[in-house]
Every structure is written in structure tokens, then in C-alpha cells.
Amino acid sequence: MVGYTKLAWEGHSDKIPMLPVILSWGDRTLKTKMLLDTGAGVSFIPPWMAKELRLDIDRSDRVAPGAGGNLRVQSSKVNIRPAVLDTKRRPARSRLMEFVLITADDDSLPFPMLGRHPFFNWYNVEIREKDGVFILKQRK
Amino acid sequence: MARLKMLEDKDPSPDELGKHLGEWVAVYGGKIIAHGMNPTLVLGEATKQTAPANAQPMIYRVPERKLLLY
């Protein structure tokens, strides 16, 4: 069970479903949180993360259509491991995400986004909005 | 199917995160140890602080106010 990230400011509050993950490539790792985005077909990260991880980038320019308009992107691969433990307190598996899109600049999207393919094929995700939690169940 | 739960990383309090709307924050031990608009600088500053513990901070972006409910 993973709690939403909770915020409070000036008498207001909100909560966001962000999953803590460890991204890695070669000997480089980065701990971050990605927005669980059931509306996105694939995942997106900003270019500073790709640079930090020294990802091998396919430099062909692509356009990713989205609700906010078209985004210029490039593609790469990255290993991803949810920063969670299973019920036997074992860390989640690291898996190769064979296709991740890298936005053209760091501010193209408000957060790194975890889209459906392939993550939602690896995990069943139960969102309990009212409780402010989500549950990941690793598929065998 | 194995149900998964969160690893050790604790979040800062909602009030603490709410002071940094729209910024990148680096978190270690449940505390914000660096923050700002440039994630590379934030990560660099935070990594300097966690290096003696041979640990890595978690860095993420706090949503901007316009993306949040009122």
C-alpha cells in the first residue's frame, strides 16, 4: 500500500498519486517519484533525468500527442524498480522499461509520468482515492 | 500476486511540502535537504549532504499550485 503524496498550503490541502521509484542504467541510479497516469499510454521523464542516468537516447525526433497538445520527445530505455517492499519485505523487482519518452525540455511536463505500458502490465494497480492510497499487486 | 508496500522513504509533512509548490525537492530521512527550480543543482547539493552516509536522496517535483485543488 502506497500513500499519496500529501500537501498543505495556506489552509488548502491536496494529495497526488505518486509512486516512489528507482530508475537505473548501468551504474547510475536515481530515486524519484512518478505520477501514476492512467491516461498516458507510455511513461515520460525530463531530459535532466536522462542525462543524470546517462541513458542511450534514440535521437530521432518524435511527437507525442496529449491532452495538453503535442510534445516533442525522444525515446530511450531505463530500468525501473518501485521503491516498495512486498508482504514478505522483499524489494520489488527491477525491470527494463524498453520504451520511455524523454521530453524536449525539463518543464514540458509537470512531473515524470508513469503511463500504462508496460508498467500496468506488470502490476495491477488499485487506486483508493478516498483513502489517499494505492495498492500495487505484482503480476506473476 | 504479491501486494507491495512502501519502502523506507518517509515523506516530509504536508505543510513542509506545501512550502515548495512547483519546486524540486530532495528528501532524505523524511526531511527536505535541498530544494529549488533547477533539479540538477538540487540533486548535487543533496548528494553532497548524503554522501557521508553512503545514501542517495529521493528527488521529486512538488506540484505547482495551478495543478492542485482549491
Q: Which domains does chain A have, with CATH numbers?
A: 2-138 (2.40.70.10)
Please judge whether B15 and A88 are an interchain contact, meaning their C-beta atoms are less than 8 angstroms apart.
Answer: no
Chain B environment of A1 (Cβ under 8 Å): 3, 5-6
Tell me whether residue B32 is in a domain: yes
Tell me whether residue B40 is in a domain: yes
CA distance B30 to B13: 8
Three-state DSSP state, A95 = strand
Closest to A74 measured CA to CA, from A39, A37, A49, A38: A49
Which residue do the cell numbers 530521432 mark?
A60
User: A31 and chain B: CB distance < 8 Å anywhere?
Assistant: yes
Tell me whether residue B2 is in a domain: no
Tell me whether residue B55 is in a domain: yes
Tell me whether residue B60 is in a domain: yes
User: Which cell numbers in the block locate residue A111?
Assistant: 512531473
B3-46 pLDDT, tens digit each = 655 555 689 999 999 999 999 999 999 999 999 999 999 999 99
The parent domain of residue B44 ranges over 14-67
pTM for the model: 0.92
- Report the pLDDT value the prediction gives residue A51, as an integer from 0 to 100: 97
Give the number of domains in chain B. Answer: 1
- Report the pLDDT value the prediction gives residue A31, as an integer from 0 to 100: 95
Three-state DSSP state, A70 = strand
A62-120 pLDDT, tens digit each = 888 776 678 889 999 999 999 988 777 888 899 999 999 999 999 888 889 999 999 99
In chain A, DSSP assigns E strands to 2-3, 5-9, 12-16, 18-25, 28-36, 43-45, 58-66, 69-82, 84-86, 95-103, 113-114, 123-128, 133-138
Please judge whether B2 and A83 are an interchain contact, meaning their C-beta atoms are less than 8 angstroms apart.
Answer: no
Closest to B70 measured CA to CA, from A13, A94, A59, A129: A13
Please judge whether A7 and B21 are an interchain contact, meaning their C-beta atoms are less than 8 angstroms apart.
Answer: yes
Tell me whether residue B36 is in a domain: yes
User: A2 and chain B: CB distance < 8 Å anywhere?
Assistant: yes
Tell me whether residue B1 is in a domain: no
Q: What's phi and psi for B67, nearest 5 deg? A: -95, 0
Instruction: Tell me the residues of B at the A interface, defined by beta carbons under 8 Å apart.
Output: 1-7, 9, 11, 13-15, 17-19, 21, 39-40, 43, 56-65, 67-70
- ipTM, 2 decimals? 0.91
Tell me whether residue B9 is in a domain: no
User: Could you please report the per-residue DSSP string of B8-60?
Assistant: SPPPPPHHHHHTTTTSEEEEETTEEEEEES-HHHHHHHHHHHHGGGT---EEE
